[in-house]
Amino acid sequence: MSDLEEENHEPEDLRRMLLEDKLRQADERLRSAMRARGFDPEQSDNLALTAPLAKLYAERENLRAELETLQENGSAA
C-alpha cells in the first residue's frame, strides 16, 4: 500500500474510532438511565421505553447503524 493510500484510510479510521467511542458512551448513558428507572438494560430491545429512554435508545441505534455503514464501506474498498 502506498503512503497516499494509507493517508486516505487514516481519516476513515479516525472516524470509525470516534463513532465507536460515541457508541460506547451512548450505550453507557442508556444503561445507566435504565438502571436508574429500575429497568434491566439487557431488555432494552423488548421494552416499551419512556420518551427519555427512547431518545437514548434511538441515539445508540443510529450510531450503530452509522458505524456499520462505515465498516461496510471500508471493507468494500
Tens digits of residue pLDDT in 13-70: 899 999 999 999 999 999 999 999 999 999 988 989 999 999 999 999 999 999 999 8
- Position 77 scores a pLDDT of 57
Question: Beta-carbon neighbour count of residue 45 at 10 Å?
Answer: 8
Q: What is the dihedral of CA 16, 20, 23, 24, to 10 degrees?
A: -170
Residue recorded with cell 445507566? 32
C-alpha cell at 24: 460506547
pLDDT level of residue 74 (50, 70, 90 thresholds): confident
